[in-house]
Amino acid sequence: MDRALDQTLDRSLTSAPIRALEDGFRAMVARSRTDPAPDCAERLDRLARLRSVVADNEERFRQAISADFGHRSAVETTIAEAMMVYSEIRHATKHLKGWMAPQRIGTALQFLPARNRLVPQPLGVVGIIAPWNYPLQLTLAPAIGAIAAGNRVIIKPSELAPHFSALLKETVAARFDATEMLVTGTEEDVAKAFAHLPFDHLVFTGSTRVGRLVAEATGRNLTPVTLELGGKSPAIVDASADLEEAAERIAYGKLLNAGQTCIAPDYVLVPENALQSFAEKVRAQMRRMFGADPANKDYTSIISDRHYARLEGLVADAAQRGAKILQPAKADDPNWKAHRKFPPTLIVGATEAMAAMQEEIFGPVLPVLGYRDANEAIAFVNRRDRPLALYWFGKDRTARDAVLARTISGGVTVNDCLFHFAQINQPMGGVGASGTGVYHGEWGFRTFSKLKPVFYRSKFNRLADLYPPYGGKIARLEKMMRFMS
């Protein structure tokens, strides 16, 4: 570990923030090796302290996140971030003792009366590179799993959320020793150095492009990595669907956090004969939910001017290529840009050549495309990278099961959007370009544990018959093993 770290960081060439990161990492690794297996009571205490970090500062976190966005809906921060963190901690606290218990594993007949057990152990030090879009929830959810598994945690928050990052660093330092949990700075050189550290496990949540760079960096140290990425998550509206219901639920899934959600529906496939009517229904639902006033406190701002300009470019490109642009509000109102809020936008009749269909949108812009039959819709999805999420709407179970069987995605919600993510007993993770590895609940505990197989030999076992000198005994044992296999 020290050799790998020395090869990664040259103290004579590094900045003060990187030296602080290196020192904190070394100290944490040292403690994880001398105290590798905190007991259940200690882990529960760490979980309780983490809950107090959020509970005692919930309003401060809401304000800090809103300051980073320009404006963030307080309700969205509460329900999509704070409440989910509380739920994760409550679930882990309730089930931790059971998760930590060695699991009974069957023993083959020829080895009886021996025993097999699968023993979960902490990996050591877990690194978390956190995103900006749900900075509280997507930072602390993997940390909860890592802490429950008995690990120590270093968090690198997003540089795009400086107010939140500073507050998290302050509040964590007030309740945790620096060898238990540590929050780094957000300097650019820290971000570059972080993934090169020889962690025992690293979690990255962010774009597929950056995820590839993280995977390359971690590969040099053979660091196990969980990548929570994104991509273009489709919504398929079947001919059997209630269009009004589907429009309402897709509008909500798309506009939560102004579309800055990795599992937001990125485009919608609708039967050709319903394309225009469905788009109008979505526009009406968007207007009903968020109105047409940029000052609406329920509607969240875009994180930066650069991201705003990118969304403008996607819409302009689609319009130039012949798409019909639908918006429930006057997009030329200068107050939209003044509040850095992007008006909800539908790209009706989108084509594969448009930029909006070439990259993850990550904003309140929704391409709507027509399809002729279910096979065409499935083929359209399968020509692209495997998405982080897929949404299907309809009443025809045969059609539903065909889509579920013939497409592969990180997760699925049927007849709604987003809510598979909130199922704490289900794993959350991507596949292929949308990510690798899972967490949430017990799945997170397992991800951040080494499930060590242990074989307990019995004194009555005849395994000694395998030892030389060989003779008739080995023939008898071989005959028995062949009979049992």
Catalytic residue, candidates 22, 262, 360, 442: 262
Look at the alpha carbons of 300, 301, 302, 303 in this order and tell me if their dihedral is positive or negative.
Answer: negative
Catalytic residue, candidates 228, 248, 360, 442: 228
Q: Among 153, 158, 159, 125, which residue's Cα sits nearest to residue 141? A: 153
CA geometry: angle 191, 64, 145, nearest 5 deg: 60
Strands 345-348 and 411-414: unpaired
Q: Which amino acid is at 307?
A: H
Q: Among 257, 340, 345, which residue's Cα sits nearest to residue 295? A: 340
The position carrying tokens 């931790």 is: 96
Catalytic-residue membership of 59? no
CA geometry: angle 382, 384, 142, nearest 5 deg: 100
d(CA 57, CA 432): 37
Q: Which amino acid is at 167?
A: L
Q: Among 362, 296, 292, 357, which residue's Cα sits nearest to residue 328? A: 292
Strands 103-105 and 115-122: antiparallel
Catalytic-residue membership of 417? no
Residue 111 · residue 461 · CB < 8 Å: yes
Encoded tokens for 392:
């299907």
d(CA 473, CA 464): 10
CA geometry: angle 21, 433, 386, nearest 5 deg: 150
Residue 464 to residues 51, 52, 109, 113, Cα–Cα distance (Å)? 53, 56, 16, 14
Residue 299 · residue 254 · CB < 8 Å: no
Q: Among 209, 261, 201, 212, which residue's Cα sits nearest to residue 437? A: 201
Encoded tokens for 108:
């083959």
Q: For the chain, first and last CA: distance in Å?
A: 42
Look at the alpha carbons of 293, 298, 302, 305 in this order and tell me if their dihedral is positive or negative.
Answer: positive
E strand or H helix that includes residue 86 = helix 83-100
Please, which residues have CB within 8 angstroms of residue 70's CB and are 6 or more apart in sequence?
301, 302, 303, 339, 340
Burial class of residue 213, CB neighbours in 10 A (0-12, 13-18, 19+) = middle
The catalytic residues are: 228, 262
